[in-house]
Every structure is written in structure tokens, then in C-alpha cells.
Amino acid sequence: MAAAGACLFPPVFSPARRRRTEASAAAGSNQNPRLSSSSARRFAVSTEHVSSAAATATTFPSSRPVGFGENGRSPEKHGGTASDQSSSSPFMEDVELESGRERLRRFFDEAKDLTRPDGGPPRWFSPLECGSRLEKSPLLLYLPGLDGTGAGLTSQYKKLGKVFDIWCLHIPVMDRTSFLDLVRMVERTIKAETDRSPNRPIYLVGESLGGCLALAVAARNPDTDLLLILANPATSFDKSQIQPLLPLLELMPEQLQLSYPFILSLMAGDPWRTFNASTEKGLPPQQTVGELSKDLLTMPSYISVLADILPKETLLWKLQMLKSASAYTNSRIHAVKAQTLLLTSGKDQLLPSLAEGARLEDALQRCDLRKFDDCGHFLFLEDGFDLVTIIKCLSFYRRGKSLNYVSDYLPPTPAEYKKPCESNRWFDEITGPVMLSTLEDGRIVRGLDGIPSEGPVLYVGYHMLLGLELVPMVIRFLNQRNILLRGIAHPMLFEKYRKGQTLEPAFYDTFRLMGAAPVSGTNLFKLLSSKSHVLLYPGGMREALHRKGEEYKLFWPEQSEFVRMAVRFGAKIVPFGTVGEDDFGEVFFDYDDQMKIPYFRDQIRQMTEEFAKVRTNATGEVANQDVHLPWVRPKIPGRFYYYFGKPIETAGRKQELKDREKSHELYLEVKSEVEQCMAYLREKRENDPYRSIFSRLMYRATHGSTSEIPTFEL
């Protein structure tokens, strides 16, 4: 990712300028932003004395004058709501990820400028080259690690800056502010911003030392709306291999400091992983080796910058601060109520982060943990690490007091969509999906030409065993029609991941990234009101986890749940059927079988109690939403078939369908259409010469790997 640079102190913080700043802060007054000519790197800066809540603001030039207003806050940049996307694309604007070596270079470029001594206190700065933000973007306060420069998020600026108002904490090299005073400084900023925008959440992003700082602030302010993102927090410093070496570092002469090469090796990461990343991008071996050689030549220059960032006295001060910060934070960890996202590295050589992550996950009240097994301590500098994507995958982004799954949803970028699309390509190839749709004149055509372009549209259909139909359908709607289907999903997909679950967190993350929302009348209302394309399965979990011999049987509620909502917004209803699960597997150990065995029965009851229940007031088979996993005997793969019926118009029928009987008639009509779609497909597929995977492989072998495989005659 591209990132803004930083030429911060020399032009503005001259001795004369600094004296004026300090005098103004002591008087408790705010100066108006001023422009000053500088280098090409641009930041807005807010300087705050730790002993005073007063602040002054200064601005560095950009391509346009942008600065801080009152309380050091940059003016809001309006870019629409989270759901405001171009009508021609369902994706967010893409931002190219930088390589690990480019991230390291940018970090040291900015750190070099940021560490010029000026004698000032800790302060906030805001990168001005982050792009246009969404309206009412939440505030993100970055709390740095051991380096204290505040440049650790450099590689994430451009993408984070589209959805956050970013402030970074800078602690000057020679500053000796205590950990507790840093906590108080962050608290003052949070209080001022909360008073200014009471409904706007504040994100604290801390790594290492900054993680301790974020936890301490959250523990002391349990009633403030905070969200924490912690990358390898230093709460385990007492177990670190560094702590026993502190006496040795104190005795070691400045000229023999061996800590800088060690720290640099941690920042550079695993060279073998860097090599693999280059080869995966398709770079020739000669170019890859050449770039690695170039990296080796630039390392000595980085060591000199590290020596400026962390001279011996500062390094010892920071390590002692880590010790006190860890002890202070751990003594108050029980008081943290803030929602927390914990990111830990598997190859952290500075801290035992994996073990500490497991401990914190149990200790914190509302915590989600994500592990990065191949990454080192400096997670934000790692090749391929994308903080915004992680936030999207966990539905961790909100702009108000509570999460709104519609207005707070951030669609994937093309690069984010590409990853799950490519990882599921094998399944798409095996299933060989056939998509049929119905035009306005009633003709059935291959492809999705009969699908309405403009929303709101409600797709109502049959849920195949284990939801196998979802992946090919979502991919083709995006690839062929630029339509992002917003699925109404079971709440279990949005619950905190628990140890022992059958599926890994990444499985649930993909659903959230692609726009799934928990099933509720409120979410359906919001989606239709925003003119979305909504995917709904009235049979829900009961259909997807059906028993033996129940293929293609609908388990819909007796009441017409969705019709009135669709009518209210004039949504088109598209009934559809899916067929093919019986060509891929057969249930041989179902719910009824499992309930007869005490071990499985207890497991089913436990999982059902843990996850949020739906349709608690429903009657009949659809009310049986017990969480279990049927055992399936695989078959030689056949083919998936989809048939989307003619869209049913509800616009202009509000008065007519106010009558409950008329509304129920439409509900039964939709249900009947779904059954007819499946009956049509089951009959027609018998005449498909390419129903078998072997015949499809032969066709591709003779006609090319990208050729469209024929099917039955329409």
C-alpha cells in the first residue's frame, strides 16, 4: 500500500516557533492552523504537553490546504456512506499492497524524518494523504510500539484512511514521559473527542507497548465507546527472552550495541517468506535474487536510523517502560470491557505472543483472536498483511453506537474478492454450474440475463445440503452481472469463534467479507430499503442440514415471513431452485441417528445452546434449528444446476397485499415456483451429456480449459 511520508519538525518546530507553541499551551489557548512550506511529505500535527490538556495545531502543506481545527481534529472529509458504491461496480476502490521490503523502506524513510530531535513532548499527527474518508468515519488512534515514532502504520495509511480518521502518537526520542502519563494523555484526547462526537466510536490500534497502552486506557474508561485492535501486545514482557538481558545492555558500550541488528532482523521478517512472496507474484528468479541482494546492501543504512530512533539511553528507558507497562496493564485486565480484536504472530522472537494471545482471549470479556503463524513481531510491516481486510472479515467496523450490518458494511475490493474466488476455483470446476434465468417474456435462457439489474430484489429459494450452492452462485452473480448478493445468514456465523468448532475462523470470515447479515426482520428491512440484492432461504438450517431422503424438500414456515417486507419496498421477488447435491453425496448419519447416541446428543445440545437461536416462536419442522453436522458419503461428482424463475413484481401492489389472505397467496405462489424450478431441473438434467465430471474433463481437454461446457437443450 502506498503511504504518506513525514517531514515533520524542522520547518515548523524551530526554537522560536517551539517557544510560541509552549507559551500558547500554557495559556490554554488554541492557535488556528497555519501553513508552512516544507518538503513533499505532509502531516497535520497536534502538540500536547502531558501536563496540560491544552493543544495547539500546525499544518504541513499538501496539494490542498488541510489542517486541524479545534482540539487538533482534522476537518471531516465527506465521501458518502459505507454502502455508497458506484452503480457499475459492487466493489470498493482497490489499493495495491506494498511488498514487505517496500513497507520497511517507507517506515525508515518516515522514521528518519520523525526522529529529528526537537525537545517537544508526545504529540498526535495525522497523515493528510490518506484519501477521501467516508462520512462520519470513526476516529483511529495509533499507539506505537518500542520505536515510538508513530510510523508503524505507514503501509496501511492509504487503505485505512478511506474509512478512518487516523491520528498517530509520536513520542520524541529524548522524551521521558512515564507510561502512566502517556495513559492520561490518551485519555484526555478520548474524552475531548467523545464530548465532541458522542456517538462516534474510537478505535485504539496498539502494537507491543502500544497494546499495553490501549488496554490500560480501556480498563480506566470502561464506559467509553472504545474498540481495541492489539498486535502482539507486550503484556507478556515478563516472560520475554529480552528481560534477562537488560543488565547486559546497560553495561554494553554504545559502539558494541548488538540490539540494532537484532531489532532490524525482527522488522525485516523471514527472508525465505519474502522470497516465496516474490515468486508467487511471478517475478523471475534473477529479479528476485537481485532484489534480495539490494536489500542486504540497504540494511546498514537502516541500522543507522535505528540507532537514531533508539539510542542506548532511550532503548533502556523503553525496555524499563515495557516492564512497568506490562505489570500495570495486567493488574487491570479484568476491568477491560471494550470489544477487542487480538492479532498474534507465530514467529514473534521478541515476545511469546501466541501463548499470550490464548491467555488474553480467556481474560478479556469481548475478544476475537486471529493468529498469523508465519509472521514476526512487527505485524504491520509483514508482506501481505492488510488490517482493513481483517476488520472487514470480522465485521469489526462501525460508525455509531452499535453495528449496522447495512450502512456499516464495507464491500470487498477486487483484490479481496479475488482471494476467496481463487481458493474456491477448484469447487467451481468440479461442480460445473449451469445457470438458467427467465426473461420478461417468459423465455428461459442460459446465463443470468433474466436477473433484474436494479434493486431491491429478493431471491428466495431452496437451501442445498450444507449450503453447497452458495459459492458458485455468488461468484457468477459478481463476475457476470456485477451484483453482490447480501445473504441473510444464521447468527452462528457472527458469533465469536470457539475452540473445538469444526470449521476454522477463515470460513466464517469469508461470509462476513462478502456481505452476509444475521437473519432478522430489522436487517431484511435495512437491506431492502437500501435497494440491495438480498438472498433469503426460508427453510434455513433445517433445509441445509436435512435428514436422509429429504433432498429437494422445502421446510418453509407456515406464515408468509418475507412477502409483506418485499411489498413495502416494491422489491422484485425472484424464486429459484438448485439441484445437484444428490450427485455429490448422500447423508448416511443424520440428526435422528446422532440423537440416539449420548455423546453426539450432548454435543448437539451444547452447540445449540451456545449459538443464538432463530424462529423460537415457529411451529413445525422448520422450528427444529438444532446445530449439528450430518455425515455425508461422497459420490463421483456430477453437476450443479440453478434455475431462476421470472421475477414477481410487487411494486404498486401494496394496497392489494395488505390483505393477509392475498399476501399468503403470493407466499404460496413463490413456494410453488421454487418447487417447479427444481422439478424442471431434475427432469432436464437427465438429458445433459455433460452431467458427469469425466465427460466435462474430456470436453475441456479437446476444446480448451476456458471453454463453456454445453448442457441440455432448453
- C-alpha distances out from residue 460 to 433, 488, 511, 557, 705, Å: 19, 11, 18, 13, 33
Q: What is the mean pLDDT of the chain?
A: 81
- C-alpha distances out from residue 139 to 73, 185, 186, 625, Å: 10, 16, 13, 40
Task: Give the H or E element holding residue 458.
Answer: strand 457-461
* pLDDT for 463: 95
Contacts 24+ apart (CB under 8 A), 437-446: 437/643, 437/644, 438/644, 438/645, 438/646, 438/647, 439/646, 440/646, 440/647, 442/646, 444/643, 444/714, 445/714, 446/711, 446/714
Omega of the bond leading into 122 within 30 degrees of 0 (cis): no
The predicted-structure confidence for 596-646, as pLDDT tens digits, reads as follows 999 999 988 888 887 756 665 655 666 667 888 999 999 999 999 999 999
| 266, pLDDT greater than 90 | no
Measured CA to CA, the distance from residue 137 to residue 633 in angstroms comes to 49
| C-beta atoms surrounding 342 within 10 Å | 23
For β-strands 202-207 and 139-143, DSSP reports them as parallel
Q: DSSP of 166-182, one letter per residue?
A: EEEEE--TT----HHHH
What does the block give as the cell for 434? 449451469
* pLDDT for 61: 32
Residue with cell 478512518: 164
For β-strands 339-345 and 226-231, DSSP reports them as parallel
Residue with cell 520547518: 11
* pLDDT for 24: 35
Q: DSSP of 228-269, one letter per residue?
A: EEEES-GGGGGG-SSGGGHHHHHHS-GGG--HHHHHHHHHH-
Please answer whether residues 57 and 35 qualify as being in contact, where contact means their C-beta atoms are separated by less than 8 angstroms: no
Please answer whether residues 24 and 118 qualify as being in contact, where contact means their C-beta atoms are separated by less than 8 angstroms: no
The predicted-structure confidence for 184-235, as pLDDT tens digits, reads as follows 999 999 999 999 999 999 999 999 999 999 999 999 999 999 999 999 999 9
The better pLDDT of the pair 235, 23 is held by 235
- C-alpha distances out from residue 657 to 533, 563, 649, Å: 22, 9, 12
Helix axes 209-220, 312-330, angle to 10 degrees: 40
Lowest mean pLDDT of 365-379, 471-485, 668-682, name the range.
365-379
Query: CA angle, 657 as apex, 653 and 663 as ends, to 5°?
Result: 135
Lowest mean pLDDT of 20-29, 322-331, 437-446, name the range.
20-29
Measured CA to CA, the distance from residue 332 to residue 335 in angstroms comes to 6
- Please compute the mean of the pLDDT values over residues 544-573 and round it to a whole number: 92
Measured CA to CA, the distance from residue 615 to residue 557 in angstroms comes to 9
Q: Percentage of the chain with pLDDT > 90?
A: 53
What does the block give as the cell for 707? 471453454
* pLDDT for 195: 95
Nearest to 478 by CA among 502, 513, 527, 430: 513
- Please compute the mean of the pLDDT values over residues 341-350 and round it to a whole number: 91
- Please compute the mean of the pLDDT values over residues 396-421 and round it to a whole number: 93
* pLDDT for 384: 86
- Please compute the mean of the pLDDT values over residues 415-433 and round it to a whole number: 91
What does the block give as the cell for 357? 494471545
Measured CA to CA, the distance from residue 423 to residue 507 in angstroms comes to 11
- Per residue, the 3-state secondary structure of 582-598, as one string, reads HHCEEEEECHHHHCCCH
252: left (phi > 0), else alpha (psi -120 to 50), else beta?
beta
pTM of the entire structure? 0.83
SS3 category, 76 = coil
Residue with cell 515476545: 351
Nearest to 410 by CA among 270, 515, 492: 515
Task: Give the H or E element holding residue 417.
Answer: helix 414-423
Omega of the bond leading into 412 within 30 degrees of 0 (cis): no
The predicted-structure confidence for 84-123, as pLDDT tens digits, reads as follows 443 467 888 877 777 767 888 888 888 888 877 666 789 9
- Please compute the mean of the pLDDT values over residues 361-379 and round it to a whole number: 90
- Please compute the mean of the pLDDT values over residues 480-492 and round it to a whole number: 92
**pLDDT band for position 350 (cuts 50, 70, 90):** confident
In the chain the domains, ranked by start, together with CATH numbers, are 100-394 (3.40.50.1820), 414-703 (no CATH)
**pLDDT band for position 452 (cuts 50, 70, 90):** very high
Measured CA to CA, the distance from residue 175 to residue 114 in angstroms comes to 13
Q: Provide CB contacts within 8 A for 374, sequence distance 6+.
A: 270, 273, 346, 347
Residue type, 545: L
What strands, in cross-sheet order, belong to the sheet with 457-461?
Answer: 444-446, 434-438, 641-644, 572-579, 457-461, 533-536, 485-489, 517-518
Measured in whole angstroms, the distance separating CA 449 from the mean position of its chain's CA atoms is 32
Q: Provide CB contacts within 8 A for 364, sequence distance 6+.
A: 333, 336, 340, 342
* pLDDT for 497: 60
What does the block give as the cell for 674? 421454487
Nearest to 458 by CA among 400, 508, 545, 529: 529
* pLDDT for 79: 42
**What b/e string do you get for 494-508 counting C-beta neighbours within 10 Å, with b at 16 or more?**
beebeeeeeeebeeb
What does the block give as the cell for 99? 511488498
Helix axes 285-309, 100-114, angle to 10 degrees: 20
